[in-house]
Chains A and B, each alone.
Chain A
């Protein structure tokens, strides 16, 4: 396996971090290093983390940096080869057989093949990034199947032979860690655990994502969200929730709501669980006041 130190002009984690920033993704050292190593070593990148820390966004940003098309495969229980790899167009094949009459036809030709995400990525590895999203939702059968794909980057279609990638495709896997992934899968990948960003970085993310939000608002929201994440909530607010909260509060403020009140009235975009809201509401005033200070 060839190790490529330079991928599309990116020759170090710092260069990748800079490129990601240009693609509106603020990466820390850890993720920039992991992503760089994955690209350079030609290994899949496995990103794990709580919901809403920006795993899928990272994959999108990597695709943007490389100037490639992102092919997304959303996992679910029972996902199988016909949804992930390829499928034959059975009705068309059937019609073709009927219409052929005495002539011979190849019903396993290209026209009857329906490409699914993994085959599509394999066929054009230099222009795509394959995102296998929420792998923890799939079942163990699919994980085992994926293992084979990720080690050889080839797919065998019994009727047509083996499709092999000309070069190693860029693959990003994400997991919310609702279950432990198989060790063998982790071994094949470059791994990174995405944590919630530091307050400083999150404030910059909020301002980058929502241009209408003032810096003081962003900092207050990030401080409040940080406090909320330390509470025993069933669904802690992610980065997307922080961005939305800042945007919503700004909007309410423009319509005349006063500041602490604007935060309080828009809490619904940050906390989306009724019990969490009930749990936090007695202390919400002090929490927001502390954060805004």
Chain B
């Protein structure tokens, strides 16, 4: 942003504050800057708090980034040095500790790992780097066929149609005026179809290591194929990665998502993660009436009853709940693990999730299926 030469001296600090916010990823329009300046003038300003409040009201920082806004405000106007270089928390992360807040790490469980290296309860917080993924036929198929084969639902908006349950009075009257008030044909309305909400929950724990990278690529393709989708990853924590995946270039989006997720290849506490998901009303609402797809092997080391309750709850909210597990590769799959047996009756489809091709095939078959 270029500095305007005729800007009054007093206004410069405010305009440069807006520039600082923009550098830190806040989207602020010029009209908001104007409103900010007008607001400050209106309020006096008598105290720094007036400027703070005017900024909150007119620059509209999203609530989850409010703390970043506050830090930047203190740095800029109050010259607070202590907070300089603070981490900005871009995505909403639900920590799974009891009180749902704070920075402290969860205690490591001193528990032997009974089922091989499969499901470890202890947390290992790591960052993952992705390689360049080669072209993938399954993802290309998904992108190509998404428009015609992803699940849909009947919308509430009425559109004109050849046949339909309602009369289109507006069109009928307009046509009849041309014929001196004689109705020749009754226009019709029907409810239009629109893309159904989708919710993707991806297990990124150690036992899913082989698939989690592919699954995230698939999520990226899906995010760009349908407007109403939310993607979360879970292992020992729950992380919303939808916004990162909205970036158009795949490698860039995956890198952004990988940066957000801190529990790659760690232990598994599916039940707790899903409980945390349901406990945030905003997140829980994403599941309502949605095609919910869980990509996980279901090797749970946490509390089984927590998992069962969470899945039962999800299945009540969802339009259809699919559980895709690599263990179900091959025909005649019968769930063996305790967790999968416990949740079997709540899950509508328990199918193969071992390869991208299998996941894509299931996702694209959803339109043919009914609500359950």
Residues of A within 8 A of B (CB): 3, 5, 12-13, 29-30, 33-34, 36-38, 40-41, 43, 46, 48, 50-51, 76-78, 80, 82, 88, 90-91, 93-94, 97-98, 100, 107, 139-141, 177-178, 183, 186-193, 230, 232-236, 275
Contact = CB atoms under 8 A, between A and B. Distances in A.
Nearest to A187: B29
9 residue pairs, one from A and one from B, having the closest CB atoms: A78-B156, A232-B279, A97-B181, A191-B60, A34-B57, A90-B169, A33-B53, A78-B157, A193-B63
Interface in B92-120: 99-100
A190 B38 CA distance: 12
Given A50-B281, A77-B155, A97 B42 contact: no
Contacts of A230: 99-100
B155 A37 contact: no
Contacts of B227: 140
B156 A77 contact: yes
Contact of B38 (A41, A178, A192, A193): A41
B265 to A, nearest CB: 26
10 contacts: A13-B43, A40-B42, A78-B156, A80-B158, A94-B173, A97-B176, A97-B181, A188-B31, A191-B58, A275-B313
Given A13-B43, A80-B157, A187 B100 contact: no
A190 B58 contact: yes
Contacts of A41: 35, 38-39, 42, 58
Given A77-B156, A78-B156, A234-B279, A88 B173 contact: yes
Main secondary structure of the interface of B (DSSP, over half): helix
Given A5-B42, A13-B43, A30-B53, 6 more contacts: A91-B169, A100-B181, A187-B32, A230-B99, A232-B100, A233-B279
B285 interface: yes
B157 A3 contact: no
Contact of B60 (A12, A78, A187): A187
A235 B281 CA distance: 7
Given A41-B39, A178-B282, A234-B284, A90 B60 contact: no
A11 B364 CA distance: 59
Contacts of B275: 232
A90 B58 contact: no
B66 interface: yes
B350 interface: no
A213 to B, nearest CB: 27
B349 interface: no
Interface in B37-83: 38-39, 41-43, 49-50, 53-54, 56-58, 60, 63, 66
A12 B54 CA distance: 13
A123 B174 CA distance: 26
Nearest to B173: A90
